[in-house]
Amino acid sequence: MNFVLLVLSAVLTNNFITVKTYGICPFLGVSKNTKSALGMGVAVTVVMFLATLVTYPIYKFIMTPLHITFLWIIFFIFIIAALVQMLEAIIRKISPSLYNTMGVYLPLITTNCAVLGVTQLFNGVENLSDIVKGATGAMNLGWSILYALFAGIGFTLVMVIMSGLREKLNCCKVSKSLSGFPVSMIAAAFICMAFTIFAQIKI
Amino acid sequence: MNKYKKITLDGIIFSNPTFMLVLGTCPTLAMIKSSATSAAGMGLCVLVVLTLSNMIISALRKVIPNQVRIPCYIVIIATLVTLVQMVLEKFVPSLYDSLGTFLALIVVNCIVLGRAEAFANKHTVVESALDGIANGLGFTLALTVMGIVCEFLGSGSIFGLKIMNFKIAMFSSPAGAFIVYGLSIALFTYIIDVFQRSRRVKANKIARENLLDSRAAANNGDTTEVNA
């Protein structure tokens, strides 16, 4: 039950882009075609998952006992930057074809709100119900990495929908001052409206 | 003096970070949908962080090695954001609550790192400070205007004061924020376009008149020479 609630919450009702407005820069910048949108989405998902896996124990077992939680911004941004660099080097070494599809987006991810946003979501949270409405039990590493993983999947979903819309928009005639960012933002507004429906889901 | 005027005008109008460059979109959308007050507060926080980070980076530009400059900038910015967060938590708790998680996310705001990389590491401290203030003001003004529009349409009030008794709930959700932001960009670029075109026409006219004048003067000169 907790798992179903968590998946629905992370992917649909609390979607990172359409509800929380995290990670709008890649959402508007890298959604020109479906292939690059998918690559970016997968890269963000992987980094979100790994970043949470590393930062959650550090926050809970190192920073909290030492009372240095106020330094979390500096710690987390460094961990994320180092992680992204490492991941890029590993992917380049192991699989050049994967590097070509996904690796090129990795350097952009360090300054992505979605990654820092998801890692700080779990700071000092004791109960699962603080993050997932209606769930019961204590917050632990397993729930937090699952939440990060599914939040990344929700991010990818919206990125892909947006790229489809923008590919269609290329065929339309738009007036000069509206073309570019304004018209894609209005398209994004319609995606957000569609996603507000999911807020009505009750289990 | 003209150099300083150009930096100010560029930051506030001609390369406005929100409307012309479309940077820092996440806090913009999140704040304009919540209220005009939190939008203005967010703008002021970015103004403070941007000005201080520009000044520090500009002062240290000869010390920081070129290869590791980005991590150095991130440490400086993260420290400043932590300081701003602590000050707000102590002295303005209401604003601290309404900004929520986006206060910490100023670290990954593209405007701050963008100005450090594009401006502060090549210019003097005074110029960088002015650039920070101008860009911060451009961001603050844009957020405040859009925040007022969203709050008025979304709840019928401005800065928390009830003005009219109606509300369109969409404008206090991300969808409404996206629409207001998109249309504001379109309007702003249109106005700048018209302004630039009229200025270009005026400049052309002045140039043509000067040319005619100089040609007439040259002709006069020729005739006088001939007469002589």
SS3 of A136-196: the string is CCECCHHHHHHHHHHHHHHHHHHHHHHHHHHHHHCCCCCCCCCCCHHHHHHHHHHHHHHHH
How many Cβ atoms from other residues are within 10 Å of residue B83's Cβ?
13
Closest to B82 (Cα-Cα) out of B104, B111, B101: B104
The pLDDT confidence band at residue B228, using thresholds 50, 70 and 90, is very low
Q: Do B177 and A21 touch (CB under 8 A)?
A: yes
A21 touches chain B (CB under 8 A): yes
Please report whether residue A28 resides in a domain: yes
What is residue A203's predicted lDDT score, i.e. its pLDDT?
60
Place of tokens 């995606």: A191
Please report whether residue A56 resides in a domain: yes
pTM check: above 0.80:
yes
Where are the alpha helices (H) located in chain B, listed in sequence order? 2-9, 25-34, 36-59, 69-91, 93-99, 110-115, 125-155, 174-227
Domain that includes residue A119, residue range: 2-197
Answer yes or no: are the C-beta atoms of B176 and B33 closer than 8 Å.
Answer: yes
Total domains in chain A come to: 1
Answer yes or no: are the C-beta atoms of A142 and A1 closer than 8 Å.
Answer: no
- A13 interaction partners in chain B (CB closer than 8 Å): none
The token pair at A39 is 């690559």
Residue B105 pLDDT exceeds 60? yes
For the segment B111-156, what is each residue's pLDDT rounded down to a tens digit?
Answer: 998 899 899 989 999 999 999 999 999 999 999 999 999 999 998 8
Enumerate chain B positions whose Cβ falls within 8 A of a Cβ in A.
22-23, 25-26, 29-30, 33, 71, 74-75, 78-79, 81-82, 85-86, 101, 104-105, 107-108, 110, 113, 170, 173-179, 181-183, 185-187, 189-190, 193
| CA end-to-end span of chain A | 10
For the segment B148-198, what is each residue's pLDDT rounded down to a tens digit?
Answer: 999 999 988 888 888 888 888 889 899 999 999 999 999 999 999 999 899
Answer yes or no: are the C-beta atoms of B184 and B19 closer than 8 Å.
Answer: yes
Between CA B37 and CA A28 the distance in angstroms is 26
Answer yes or no: are the C-beta atoms of B140 and B18 closer than 8 Å.
Answer: no
At B83, is the secondary structure helix, strand, or coil? helix
Please report whether residue A143 resides in a domain: yes
Q: Which residue of B has its CA nearest to A74?
A: B78
Closest to B27 (Cα-Cα) out of B181, B185, B188, B130: B181
Q: Do B104 and A116 touch (CB under 8 A)?
A: yes
Maximum Cα–Cα distance across chain A: 59
For the segment A66-115, what is each residue's pLDDT rounded down to a tens digit?
Answer: 999 889 999 999 899 888 888 888 888 888 887 887 777 777 788 788 99
Answer yes or no: are the C-beta atoms of A43 and A102 closer than 8 Å.
Answer: yes
Residues in chain B: 228
Q: Do A77 and B29 touch (CB under 8 A)?
A: no
Please report whether residue A202 resides in a domain: no
Please report whether residue A27 resides in a domain: yes
For the segment B85-97, what is each residue's pLDDT rounded down to a tens digit?
Answer: 999 999 999 999 9
Contact residues for A146 (Cβ-Cβ < 8 A; gap 6+): A3, A6, A10
What's the complex ipTM?
0.89
Closest to B145 (Cα-Cα) out of B97, B107, B185, B111: B185
What is residue B223's predicted lDDT score, i.e. its pLDDT?
54
Q: Do B189 and A23 touch (CB under 8 A)?
A: no
Please compute, for residue B92, the number of CA atoms within 13 A of its CA located in the half-sphere on the CB side: 16
A77 touches chain B (CB under 8 A): yes
How many Cβ atoms from other residues are within 10 Å of residue B149's Cβ?
20
Please report whether residue A97 resides in a domain: yes
Please report whether residue A153 resides in a domain: yes
How many Cβ atoms from other residues are within 10 Å of residue B14's Cβ?
13
Name the average pLDDT for chain A.
Answer: 88
B146/chain A closest Cα distance in angstroms: 14
* A-B contacts at Cβ under 8 angstroms: 100
For B112-164, give the DSSP string.
HHHHIIIIITTS-HHHHHHHHHHHHHHHHHHHHHHHHHHHHHHHSEETTEE-S
A82 touches chain B (CB under 8 A): no
- A21 interaction partners in chain B (CB closer than 8 Å): 26, 29-30, 33, 174, 177
- B189 interaction partners in chain A (CB closer than 8 Å): 177
Q: Do A28 and B25 touch (CB under 8 A)?
A: yes
- A28 interaction partners in chain B (CB closer than 8 Å): 22, 25
Between CA A72 and CA A91 the distance in angstroms is 28
- B178 interaction partners in chain A (CB closer than 8 Å): 185-186, 188-189, 192
Contact residues for A77 (Cβ-Cβ < 8 A; gap 6+): A110, A116, B74, B78, B107, B108
Give the residues across from B161 on adjacent strands: B158
Between CA B52 and CA B103 the distance in angstroms is 16
Please report whether residue A203 resides in a domain: no
